[in-house]
Each structure stands twice: as structure tokens, then as C-alpha cells.
Amino acid sequence: MNSPDKIRCDACPVMCYISEGKTGACDRYANHDGKIIRCDPLTIIDRRLAKGDKIQPFLAANWDGQTLSGHDIVVSAIGAGTTYPDYKPAPFIVSREIDGVDCVTVVTEAIFSYCGVKVKIDTDRHIGAEAASVRADGEAIGHVMTAEYGSQMLSLGGVDHLTGGSKPEGRKTCDALLRLCNKEAVELTIDGGSSIIVQAGRAPVIDGKAEERMRVGCGSATIGMFASQWQGLVDEVVVVDDHITGVVSEHQAGKIIDWADTGIRINGRRSTPGRYFKVAEPGNGWGGTNIDDPLAILGQWRATKGARAGLSLLMVSTTGEHAGYYVLNDALEPVMLPMPAALQTSVDLIAQNCEPALCTVLFMCGAGGSLRSGVTDNPIHLTRSVHSDETSVTIGGAPTYRWPGGGITVMVDVMEVPDGAFGYVPTPALVAPLEFTTRRDAYQRLGGHNAHIRNLDDVLETGGEYGADVRVIGEDP
């Protein structure tokens, strides 16, 4: 039996019974004086202010009562509350003027079972085989995707991990996604691969070592960029790379500037002149390979093709992290010698041209479900309006990329979203702030909830159903 002082919260499918002064299972809604309120304030972004925030009552005298409008003021859905179970209009449907046009922004905190994150990890180190499972606290929460230029990629979350597996899998997936979206550090392990710590906007930590830089390019690209700067300083340059190892004397860039043949031989699969695949296996050594000694990728030098005693060789990785200088002896064997200062300058130049290694977290969700009813009585009209770019979609005020095709599938860089914007419900699912903005006349054509439109001044003065506080935050220019 439920205690008489408990009231039911209908903000998500869990439908908690909450005692006076307590919060529900999600810690986002509470029973305050017998009424369900949102624990976090509605967030308004004022781009005229320096980055920071302050929380104040809606009726605070700090607001001077002047009409607020334009692109500088953004009403986000953070703290707004939900439409769930989606039969009712969104908590705030706000009218404001933008560049002389009367616009409407519909804000709601959406519950997403169909959501996940794409993680870009700037490193040329091998972290795991493509399609290998990625785990958080032992539970599979995603997999390794195809690598991109200078980065390893992960796909985490999705409805199959959130709700399609065991309860522990769903809970661990939801927890990891929530922390990643809120810019917190999450430790992940990859089956047959590395242990990594991922945090949006920070360098990845791979097997206990923080990455400093992503590669300047593949070995072939590095040859193209710096061949002319090596000419006259060294007889041969090999840029070691797991994907495409470059050899300057054979490369087209070298041929164009009349680089002499050296008789070098590479143990790998030749793609085109001066470009080699599979010189070694992937790993955490030179250029994302598994080698610690770069000479392991060299075969016998050929005197008939230009090899000679005294020939100099620079071997370098695509980040400049590894480099070595060698000279051939009478047996045409490379002997390591101290790096000449002029060549060290070129190695340093490679490093200078490498960007800092960072983790990027993109939240991805399908906003095409029943929450559209909080915007319009005819949900397909909203979908078509979004497809035609008549209605824009933002998450916490941040711009999104909308995927082509059916539905409203959007993606956002979590670094563009205010801190603490994401929540969860223990179904499990993530909760994210979602805003739809369009012209007022277009909103009326959508079959929007016109009777619930309020101007921004009224919102600031009187608040909403779920509480009476507003948070005003600024942004750095």
C-alpha cells in the first residue's frame, strides 16, 4: 500500500510514488508540498553574458522587465520537464521575436530509448579490432567502428544495449552514456584490445598513457608535406604508418623533385610507388604498428639500385613521437647514429603540425516518436517541417546535424551543450533537452498547440508547471 503522503510522478514510464520532500528514482522530480516539481531550473542561454550561470526565481527583480528577443536569447529545454506520456503540449511553447520575425520555440525534455553516442578518439594506436565489443564494468555497451583519418571510432549505446539485453547491461549502458554526454570521464575496455579512458574535450588515456597528439597524416601524406624540406639533408626517409608507410625516394613527391634512388626494400605490400600497406600488424608502437624497432620493416638493401656505404636514412613516425637516424655500413646494414640537428628540426616540424589528441562525443537520437505530440496534433507535419528546414532542431540550445531520410534523427556535439544537460530514467533511457523552433505562422500551419503559446516575458515572470526557478547562463564568444 502506498503511504497517503506519497504522490505518483508520471514524468516517465517508471511512475514512482514519491514521499513529501523526496525525489523519484531519476533524482529529477520531487514531491514538494504535494506537487511534482522539476528539481533543476529551466535554463535560458543569454549569449550577451560571459560564461557562467546564476539561478534565480522567475519573479526576481534582477530581470529588468525589458522584452528579450533575438538570437542572443535561447530558451533551452534543460529543466523544462517532459510531455510524457506525450498526450499533452510541451511544458513551454515560447513566442519571441528573432530578426523581426515572430518565432515559436517548443521545449521539452525528451526520453530516448533509441539513442547512443559516437566517440572519436584521436590516436593512431590500435585500440581494438573493428566490431570488437566495448565494455563498461564488464558489460557490453557498444563496439569499435571503422577507423577514420587519424582517429579510432566507437559506437556506444543504442536500443539493443539499453533494453535488448540483460538488466545489468542496460543499466551500465545508460550510466556510461549519461556520464559521457555530461562530459565526465568513463573507463572502457575493448575485447582483445585496450583499456581506455574517454572524456569529451580531453585527451584519451590508452592503457594508462595519455595521448598527446594525433598524426599529421598517413605516411604517404607526410612525405607529400615534407619531402622538399628533407632534400639535401638526408638520402632516404621512411615514414612508418600502420595504414600507408611512405618512402620518399620512391614516392611521386620525391620523383618530382629528382630524389635519387637508394636501393631500399620495404617488407610490406606495395600499393603504388613509395606507398606500402601491411608493413606490420596494428599496435601501440611506431606509427600505430606493433614494432618497437623500425628496422624490422626493412629488407636487404640493393647496391644495384643505389645502396652504398655512408647512405643516410631517417625513419620517423606520423606524429614525430618516434624517430631514428641511421647510416649504412660497408655491409649495407643501417647503423644508428645521433640525430643531426637539421633533421631533428624536421621531426619537430611534424610534431608541430599534429593537432592535440582529443575525445569527441556526439549524442545521437531519434526524435521521431510520440514526443512530437507535444508540438502538434498531427506529428507527421512536424517531421516534414523539419525535413524541409522550416523547423530547426536543437539540443540544449546547441545546433544539431539532422540525418537525411525518414524520421527526425539528429546528432550533437556534447561540448556545445551546457553542463549537466542530460539525465536518465531507470527504464533505462537517457533524457535530453530538445527544442523545435519555427516561424509562428508555420507553427500554426503545423497544427501546433496555439492556445499554449506564451511570450518569453510571461515565461520569465510566471514560470511553468514544474517549478518557479530559472537558470540564466552565458557563453564565451
Question: What secondary structure, in 3-state letters, does 307-335 show?
Answer: CCCCCEEEEEECCCCCEEEEEECCCCCEE
Given pLDDT bands bounded at 50, 70 and 90, which one contains residue 60?
A: very low
59: pLDDT strictly greater than 50: no
> To the nearest whole percent, how much of the chain has pLDDT over 70?
93
Identify the H or E element spanning 413.
Answer: strand 409-413
User: Strand pairing partners for 55?
Assistant: 471
Interstrand relation of 115-122 and 429-439 (parallel, antiparallel or unpaired): unpaired
pLDDT, tens only, 334-388: 999 999 999 999 999 999 999 999 999 999 999 878 889 999 999 999 999 999 9
Q: Which amino acid is at 207?
A: D
Nearest to 175 by CA among 316, 184, 456, 226: 184
pLDDT, greater one: 116 or 467: 116
49: pLDDT strictly greater than 80: no
Output Rg (C-alpha) for the chain, integer angstroms.
29
Mean pLDDT of the chain: 90
97: pLDDT strictly greater than 90: no
Given pLDDT bands bounded at 50, 70 and 90, which one contains residue 9?
A: confident
Given pLDDT bands bounded at 50, 70 and 90, which one contains residue 410?
A: very high
Q: Under a CB-based contact definition with an 8 Å cutoff, are residues 356 and 228 in contact?
A: no
Mean pLDDT of 66-93: 79
pLDDT, tens only, 283-319: 999 999 999 999 999 999 999 999 999 999 999 999 9
